[in-house]
C-alpha cells in the first residue's frame, strides 16, 4: 500500500532554470528506476542543461541516454551508496559520510558550487548528499530531497514502491507527473544505431528464448529458487524449442555453468553482456524468470515480460520491477517450495511455447 507523504508546499522549481543536476548512485535497479524520473525532468525543464552525477559503472549507459547533456561521476560517493544499497538507497536517512570521506565531500561541494546549478534533484537522499547541500549554504541552489531546510523537501511516511517515491518527490518539486512512472529503455537501439552486439544472434541465440536470472547463493544469503529447479525449467523450455539464456554476475557464474551442463541447448551468458546488451536481450526475450535480483530491473525495463520469485514477507507491489512487458510476482513463504509446474504453466499461458511452435 502506498505510504502517505509529509505535507509540502509543492512549489515549482525556478521558472528560468538553465542548469539542472540529478544525483543517483546506488545499485543497477536504483539507476534504472531513476531514468523514469529523469525522462520527466527532461520534459519539464525545456531548454535547460541537465547533468547527472552517478557511479562510474553507469557512465556508458548514461552518456547515451537522451535525458542528460552531461554525465559526471564521483567514486567516493558511489562507494558509500553501494555499501548501503539495501538501506540508505531506499531510505532517506541511511548511512552517509564519515570522517574518511571528508576531503572527497569537500571536493564534490566545490564542483557543485562551481557549476552554479539552478535546481538539484537529489534522488540519493543520503546523509552524504545532505552534507553536500549543507556545504553549499548560505546560498544553495533550489534542492529537491531530504536535506533539512532545502527549498523542495521530500520525506515520505510509510512505504511505497521506489518508482512511486520518485514520482512523489517530483510532484513535491512542482513537476507534473501523469501516468505511474515506468522505466523504458527503448531508446538504446536508436542511440547506438542498433549495432550487431545488441542482437541475440551476437551471442549465438537463434529463435525464441527465455531469460533465466538466478541468484547466487552467497548474495546477501537471501532466499532463492533452487538450482535444480532452474535446471529442470531449462530442460522444459528447451524441449519446447525455446532457448534458455542464463544471465548474472560473478556470483552466478557457477550456477550458469551448472544450468548449461544440465541442458546442452542453454546459453550461459553470466558476466558476458554489458548493460546495453542486457537491455537488448530483454527487449527481444519471450519471457524472463528470475529471483529478486538487480539485473531483472534492467531486463524488465528493456521490455521482457517477467516472472519474479518473492517471499510472502515482501510486498510485491513495493518491490517488484516494472517494465513495458509487465511483471508477475510469484510468492511463497519458502521460495524454494515454488513448484516448477506452476512456473512452466505461467510461461505456457503467456503463449511462449505456442509462438515457438509456429515460428
- Give the tens place of pLDDT for each residue, 253-297: 999 999 999 999 999 999 999 999 999 999 999 999 999 999 999
Are 124 and 211 found together in one domain? no
- Whether 232 is in a domain gets the answer yes
pLDDT score recorded for residue 356: 78
What is each CA distance from 201 to 81, 193, 331, in whole angstroms? 36, 16, 34
Domain count for the chain: 2
In a domain, 197, yes or no: no
Q: In terms of domains, do 49 and 146 share one?
A: yes
Q: Per-residue confidence at 140, pLDDT binned at 50, 70, 90?
A: very high
User: Is 293 found in the same domain as 152?
Assistant: no
Contact 232, 259 (CB under 8 A): no
Among residues 147, 181, 215, which one ends one of the domains? 181
Least confident of 90-104, 116-130, 207-221: 90-104
253 contact partners, CB below 8 Å, separation of at least 6: 270, 271
Range of the domain at 262: 202-358
Residue 197 has pLDDT above 80, yes or no: yes
Residue 189 lies in a domain: no
pLDDT-based confidence at residue 4 (cuts at 50, 70, 90) = very low
- Name residues whose C-beta falls within 8 Å of residue 146's C-beta, 6 or more positions apart in sequence: 92, 93, 122, 125, 130, 153, 154, 155
> So what's the pLDDT on residue 359?
72
Amino acid at each position: 500500500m502506498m505510504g502517505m507523504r509529509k505535507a509540502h508546499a509543492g512549489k515549482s522549481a525556478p521558472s528560468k532554470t538553465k542548469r539542472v543536476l540529478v544525483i543517483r548512485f546506488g545499485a543497477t535497479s536504483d539507476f534504472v528506476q531513476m531514468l523514469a524520473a529523469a525522462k520527466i525532468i527532461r520534459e519539464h525543464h525545456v531548454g535547460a542543461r541537465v547533468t547527472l552525477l552517478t557511479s562510474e559503472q553507469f557512465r556508458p549507459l548514461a552518456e547515451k541516454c537522451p535525458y542528460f547533456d552531461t554525465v559526471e561521476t564521483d567514486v567516493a560517493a558511489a562507494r558509500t551508496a553501494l555499501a548501503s544499497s539495501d538501506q540508505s538507497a531506499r531510505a532517506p536517512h541511511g548511512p552517509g559520510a564519515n570522517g574518511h570521506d571528508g576531503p572527497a565531500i569537500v571536493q564534490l561541494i566545490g564542483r557543485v558550487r562551481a557549476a552554479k546549478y539552478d535546481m538539484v534533484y537529489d534522488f540519493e537522499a543520503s546523509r552524504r548528499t545532505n552534507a553536500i547541500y549543507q556545504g553549499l549554504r548560505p546560498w544553495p541552489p533550489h534542492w529537491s530531497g531530504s536535506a533539512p531546510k532545502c527549498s523542495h523537501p521530500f520525506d515520505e511516511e510509510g512505504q511505497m514502491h521506489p518508482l512511486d517515491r520518485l514520482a512523489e518527490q517530483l510532484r513535491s518539486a512542482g513537476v507534473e507527473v501523469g501516468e505511474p512512472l515506468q522505466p523504458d529503455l527503448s531508446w538504446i537501439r536508436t542511440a547506438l544505431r542498433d549495432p550487431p552486439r545488441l542482437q541475440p544472434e551476437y551471442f549465438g541465440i537463434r529463435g525464441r528464448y527465455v531469460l533465466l536470472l538466478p541468484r547466487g547463493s552467497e548474495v546477501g544469503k537471501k532466499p532463492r529458487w533452487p538450482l535444480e529447479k532452474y535446471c529442470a525449467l531449462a530442460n522444459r523450455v528447451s524441449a519446447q524449442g525455446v532457448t534458455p539464456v542464463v544471465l548474472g554476475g560473478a556470483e552466478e557464474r557457477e550456477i550458469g555453468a551448472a544450468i548449461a551442463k544440465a541442458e546442452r541447448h542453454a546459453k550461459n551468458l553470466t558476466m558476458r553482456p554489458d548493460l546495453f546488451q542486457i537491455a537488448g536481450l530483454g527487449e527481444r526475450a519471450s519471457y524472463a524468470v528470475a529471483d529478486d535480483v538487480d539485473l531483472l530491473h534492467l531486463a524488465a525495463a528493456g521490455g521482457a515480460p517477467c516472472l519474479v520469485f518473492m517471499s510472502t514477507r515482501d510486498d510485491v507491489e513495493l518491490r517488484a520491477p516494472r517494465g513495458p512487458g509487465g511483471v508477475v510476482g510469484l510468492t511463497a513463504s519458502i521460495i524454494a517450495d515454488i513448484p516448477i509446474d506452476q512456473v512452466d504453466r505461467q510461461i505456457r499461458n503467456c503463449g511462449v511455447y505456442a509462438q515457438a511452435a509456429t515460428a
